[in-house]
Structure formats: C-alpha cells, structure tokens
Amino acid sequence: MKPQLKIGDRVAWSRTFVRDAGGCMKDMADMRGTVISVFSIKPRRVYVSWNDNTTFCSLESNLVLAERIHLETP
C-alpha cells in the first residue's frame, strides 16, 4: 500500500501522460509540486502547487513522492 501524502511532500505524477480538462493528452513528465492541502474523505484528494505556477486538486492515487521517482530512474 502506498504511503499517504502529507502537507509539504514533494510529488510527481504517477503517469507521464494525463488527460487535461479538454480531453487532450498532456505530457506531465517534468511536473513536480508540493502538497498544500489534504482531504481525508475517500477517495483521498490533495491540492498541489505545481512548478508551472498552477494549483489544482488531484486524486492521491495519481501522485507519487518525487523522491521515490528519482530513486527509481536509472
């Protein structure tokens, strides 16, 4: 089971490509962010402040800790 994210955690997307609000595929490989708020209702959602100066909510299951990605990248 994945560890639960906390405020202040550095995160990245668990998938490289995600669909944006318009249904287009968007490359998220370089997106990194910091968790700024956590909603404990199921399924858990977190607000993230991203490195492109946007802030939006995501399901916690769509995110991974950024440090873990760096360790797994060859």
Assigned domain for 4 exists: no
Are 55 and 42 contacting, i.e. CB atoms less than 8 angstroms apart?
no
- Is the pLDDT higher at 62 or at 25? 62
Sheet of strand 45-50, all strands in order from the earlier edge strand to the far edge: 55-59, 45-50, 32-39, 10-13, 63-65
Assigned domain for 15 exists: yes
Q: What is the CATH number of the domain that holds 18?
A: 2.30.30
Range of the domain at 58: 10-72
End-to-end CA distance of the chain: 23
Q: What pLDDT is recorded for position 23?
A: 78
Please give the structure tokens belonging to residue 24: 């287009």
Assigned domain for 57 exists: yes
Answer yes or no: pTM beyond 0.75.
no
* The pairing of beta strand 45-50 with beta strand 55-59: antiparallel
| Interval 19-57: pLDDT, tens | 777 777 777 777 889 999 998 888 889 999 998 888 888
Give the whole-angstrom CA distance, residue 17 versus residue 26.
Answer: 5
